[in-house]
Structure formats: C-alpha cells, structure tokens
Amino acid sequence: MKDGGTGKANYTKSLAVKPSLSGGIGSEDCNIAFTTYLQKLQPALADYRVDDVLIVDIDSSGNVIASGKHGICGTIAAPETLQLKQCLDQGKKYKSTILEITTVSCKVRVRRLLS
C-alpha cells in the first residue's frame, strides 16, 4: 500500500489564497468582468436604456455604484464586489453596460476600462 499500511491516504492540494484588503491585489487580478443585477435602484434608472454605459465608482458611504449622465442607477452587490472595490481603490477604472432594464430591475455587465 502506498500509505504505508495505515489505511489513510495523504492528499494535498494547493489553494489559491485571495488577498486581504490590507495586502492589496496585483494588476492582473483587476482584469475582472462579470454580469449582475443592480441593487438599491434609484429613480434615475427610468432615464436609461439597454446598451447605455455607466461608470462604476465608490460613493461616500463606501458602496460600489453605477451611474451615468442621468444620475445613479443603483449599487453593485455581487460576489466580485470586494475585489472590484480593491481595484477601484487602486485607481483602476470600470464601466457597466446595461443588458436588460425594467422598472424594477437592471442587469449590467461590469468590465475594466483599459487605458
């Protein structure tokens, strides 16, 4: 037996560790793109249409928001939000494009703006 006759298998697996807020993340980790529904929708949403482009930023309360020429549409609360926030803090720029929009929902595709 490979396990020395103990009956126990020894398995190891390398784990990718996501960096903490204090550790920062590398530039390649900021090349993120994802699709999500906006949360906390705002009245300005009524002025937007499919394919409109919104700027992704952090507001004074620390929320990641999507806004455009008509004002704030809503907040981004996706599994990728922490990583996105870290990248925004590093000065990286992101946009979101409206994919679907109704009076009660707004689906966007978030992507990094490359300089």
CATH match of 33-113 with 3.40.190.10? no
Render pLDDT for 8-59 as a digit per residue (tens, 0 to 9).
544 343 333 344 444 456 666 899 999 999 999 999 999 999 999 999 999 9
Beta-sheet strands, E only, within the chain: 33-37, 53-58, 64-68, 71-75, 93-101, 106-113
Residue-wise pLDDT for 49-72, tens only, equals 999 999 999 999 999 999 999 999
Domain ranges for the chain, please list them: 33-113
Q: Model's pTM, two decimal places?
A: 0.75
pLDDT of residue 114: 82
CA distance linking residue 36 with residue 79, whole number of Å: 9
